[in-house]
Amino acid sequence: MMNNKWMLALLFSILSLGLSSQISSAKITYERKTNLYKKMKGGNVKDWIKESDKIKVDYFELMFNDTCSAFKPQESELKENMSWATQKNTVYQNFNNNKLYLIKDMWGEPIHITDSLYQRKWQITESTRKIAGYQCRKAVWRANDSTRIYAWFSYDLITSTGPESFTGLPGTILGLATEDGGVVYFAKKIEFVKSEAIALAPPKKKKIYTMKTLWDDMYKQYGKEKWFKEEWNSQFGIW
C-alpha cells in the first residue's frame, strides 16, 4: 500500500514538473542585426556606409501572456548611430480576437494600423538549435519566390508569438532570420514575469488604418511612382 502511495506521489510530481515547464507568460529581449550592405543592395552603398558600420544592431522586448503580446523597441538614453538605417516597429497581437495592431514609422510619421493576424504557411523541420538556453525547432516560411524566412521556436514557451508580426507556430519564436542572413533576430534574455492584458493593450488613437485603407490612401498619392510597389512590399510584405 505504501508502495502504491509512493508511486502515485511520484507520478503527480512528474506531471506537475511537466506542466510547470510550459511557460505562457514572459518577457524576452531580442537583439536584431541588420546587414546594411544586403539590405541596401545596388548603388554605391559602400561609398557612404563604412565596412565597420555595415552591421546595425537594435534591441527589442516582447511581453506576452496566453492571450496577447506586445513587441516594442527597447528604450535607451544612449545616442543611436545611424538611426535612420533601420525601422523599429511596435506590434500588438491579440490571439482571442485574431487582431493585429501595428505602429510603423513611415517617412518620420508613426502610422497606426489594425488588421487580422497574419496567416503564414510554415514548414516545420527536424533541425534544432539552442537559443537562450532553450531547445528550438526550425520552421521555414516562403514569403515569395525569392525570399524565405527561418524561425526557431520553443515548445517550452507555449504562446504562439514572436518578433514583429510573426505567429502561427506551436511555441514562441526565439530566433528569426532572412535566408541570406541580412536580418537576424535572436533572443538574448528570457525573464519569467506575469504580463497583465491591460499592459499589452495597444494605445488609443483617433486615426487608425486597416491595410486596405492604407493601401488605398497611399496608392492615390504615390501609385504612379515606379518605386511605390517595391516600397510597399518592403514595408508590409514580410514583417
* Mean pLDDT (the chain, rounded): 88
What fold, for 21-236? outer membrane lipoprotein receptor (LolB), chain A (2.50.20)
Average pLDDT rounded to a whole number, residues 222-233: 88
Average pLDDT rounded to a whole number, residues 152-180: 97
The grid cell for 102 is 501595428
Per-residue confidence (pLDDT) for residue 1, from 0 to 100: 45
Other Cβ atoms less than 10 A from the Cβ of 46: the count is 12
Residue 179 dihedral angles phi and psi, to the nearest 5°:
-60, -35
Confidence of residue 232 (pLDDT cuts 50, 70, 90): confident
pTM metric for this prediction: 0.87
Rounded to an integer, what distance in angstroms lies between the CA atom of residue 66 and that of residue 160?
8
Looking at per-residue pLDDT, the higher value among 105 and 169 belongs to: 169
Residue 187 dihedral angles phi and psi, to the nearest 5°:
-65, 135
Tell me: the pLDDT tens digits for 17-58?
444 468 999 999 999 999 998 888 766 888 888 888 899 999
Tell me: the pLDDT tens digits for 66-93?
999 999 999 876 667 777 788 899 999 9
